[in-house]
Structure 1
Amino acid sequence: MATRSSTRPGAATGAAADPALAGAPRSSESRTALVRRARRIDRLLAERYPDAHCELDFANPLQLLVATVLSAQTTDVRVNMVTPVLFARFPTAADLAAADRAELETIIQSTGFFRQKAQSVLGLAQALVERHGGEVPPRLDDLVQLPGVGRKTANVVLGNAFGIPGITVDTHFGRLARRFGWTASEDPVVVESEVGALFEKKSWTMLSHRLIFHGRRTCHSRKPACGACPVATLCPAYGTGETDPEKAAKLVKDLVPVDAAAPLGTLG
């Protein structure tokens, strides 16, 4: 990793020229400064990723719910390769609830952990039929009672299938929220609460998309592309990764579909 440097891209102009917006460690910031910096980061990420969106393909709440469960420990790209076959074969919750387990496992096998995922899909489909008439409920408390569904999955469904604001704390979101100094917690529930308090509720879903986009493309776990980051001047973690602009630019990922035969985890 590159040595942390005090010289940041654009340090003399723009956001970094305002001490209240500069990427000071969280401990030295006032609450007002933290909120201003967080919202400035969100605006800059909106400029970088104007097309940020849920990268799972779906046509209805059930499809998104199942696809999100399948996305654990694999890529959205790979899930999108599997779900057309899955939903053509089992289009409703009742169909999924009555699915032959071996057939279901075969269809979703390439997503990894397919036996556990098949159990979750069968369980949640049966619960939907028994408790909700086969429909996905638009309520967090109901969603998290379904097998294999936690707050992250529930918020994905609420925000993208029902238009109900929610913060999706996946590994990318949590990592970036800590790097930005928005939270120090590793607990997803605490991260959701602390980050949510910095933003208007109506922005939560798009904020989630932007951080996830940025985490997948630029602010990587092992070697973030600090020198190619649009929020470098606002980030307390600047210098964690490559700071040279040309070298950093080579680290930025332009995520594209992979061949179905490629190994799991190709896109990170």
Structure 2
Amino acid sequence: MLKAERVEYILQRLQALYPETPVPLDHTDPYTLLIAVLLSAQCTDERVNQVTPALFALADNPHDMASLDVEQIRLIIRPCGLSPQKSKAIKRLSEILLDQHDAVVPADMEALERLPGVGHKTASVVMSQAFGVPAFPVDTHIHRLAQRWGLTSGKNVVQTERDLKRLFAEEHWNRLHLQIIFYGREFCSARGCDGRVCEICTTCYPHRKHPKKTLKA
């Protein structure tokens, strides 16, 4: 199967499997989405969704969050891991939103990436899911599947993002990155498939004899 054929097949198959792509992190607006995505670093979405109700009950906006002590935030978000760093970042970014952005999450990639604790992937998720701006957030799951499906040979998520944006039309990006994540969790996990098990892997590479080793993300 040629790469162009794989791209078209993957696009159609994922759309058939996941016609709806709800954001897996519970949120009510761009600010709560930003905080939830920040918390999801090295943590499952399920755990984040268990933690955020208590946090957002105290503060679901920059003004209220900035008024909390870092320790108050840390105690609530501790189950998400990395709580010392994340709690400081949440308080500080809330202060910056108040001071520099009129308490509004900016719909600007560079401005988002300047916020504490907000890397390129987090900013991309917020841009795509909160503001509908085409972006292709790439996490380790997407990086792994893109290699298994022969869409990239990149050794890092930056190269993988560049390759995926080149292969797929911009109109598909926001939906597709969630569809790939959903598929990876359900059918093509790190342990559940080695590039020779799931439907998409076996369709794209029916004669693959050896496990597909993922280049380090």
TM-score norm. by structure 2 comes to 0.90
Q: CA separation of 1:130/1:239 partners in 2, compared to 1, >3 Å: closer, same or farther?
A: farther
Give the corresponding residue for 1:128.
Answer: 97
Indicate if the aligned counterparts of 2:145 and 2:188 stay in contact, CA closer than 8 A: yes
Give the corresponding residue for 1:155.
Answer: 124
Of 54-63 and 35-44, the range deviating more from structure 2: 35-44
Corresponding letter in the other structure for 1:194: D
Once the two structures are superposed, residues 92-145 of structure 1 have per-residue CA deviations (whole angstroms, 9 ceiling, x without a partner) of 112112211111111111111111110111121112111111110111111111
SS in 1 for 2:167: coil
Pick one of 10, 14, 20 that aligns with 1:41: 10
Indicate if the aligned counterparts of 2:25 and 2:45 stay in contact, CA closer than 8 A: yes
RMSD over aligned Cα atoms: 1.9
**Which consecutive unaligned segments of at least 5 residues does structure 1 have?**
1-21, 23-32, 242-268
Give the corresponding residue for 2:203.
Answer: 233
Number of aligned positions between the proteins: 210
Q: Which has the higher helix share?
A: 2
SS in 2 for 1:58: coil
Counterparts of residues 84-99 of structure 1 (less than 5 Å): 84-99=53-68
Give the corresponding residue for 1:63.
Answer: 32
Indicate if the aligned counterparts of 2:148 and 2:201 stay in contact, CA closer than 8 A: no
Pick one of 67, 75, 84 that aligns with 1:115: 84
Q: CA separation of 1:159/1:152 partners in 2, compared to 1, >3 Å: closer, same or farther?
A: same
* Alignment partners' CA distance in 2, 1:109 and 1:79: 10
Question: 2:153 aligned with 1:184, yes or no?
Answer: yes
Question: 2:115 aligned with 1:146, yes or no?
Answer: yes
Pick one of 64, 74, 79 that aligns with 2:48: 79
Give the corresponding residue for 1:259.
Answer: none
Question: Could you tell me how far 1:52 is from its partner in structure 2?
Answer: 3.1
SS in 2 for 1:147: coil
Question: Could you tell me how far 1:35 is from its partner in structure 2?
Answer: 3.1
Give the corresponding residue for 1:167.
Answer: 136
Identity of aligned pairs, percent?
37
**Bigger Rg, which one:** 1
Of 33-42 and 61-70, the range deviating more from structure 2: 33-42
Q: CA separation of 1:99/1:36 partners in 2, compared to 1, >3 Å: closer, same or farther?
A: same
Higher relative contact order (CA 8 A, sep 6+): 1
* Alignment partners' CA distance in 2, 1:124 and 1:131: 10
* Alignment partners' CA distance in 2, 1:103 and 1:171: 31
SS in 2 for 1:197: helix
* Alignment partners' CA distance in 1, 2:81 and 2:207: 33
Of 154-163 and 37-46, the range deviating more from structure 2: 37-46
**Which consecutive unaligned segments of at least 5 residues does structure 2 have?**
212-217
Indicate if the aligned counterparts of 1:67 and 1:79 stay in contact, CA closer than 8 A: yes
Indicate if the aligned counterparts of 1:35 and 1:199 stay in contact, CA closer than 8 A: no
* Alignment partners' CA distance in 2, 1:85 and 1:233: 44
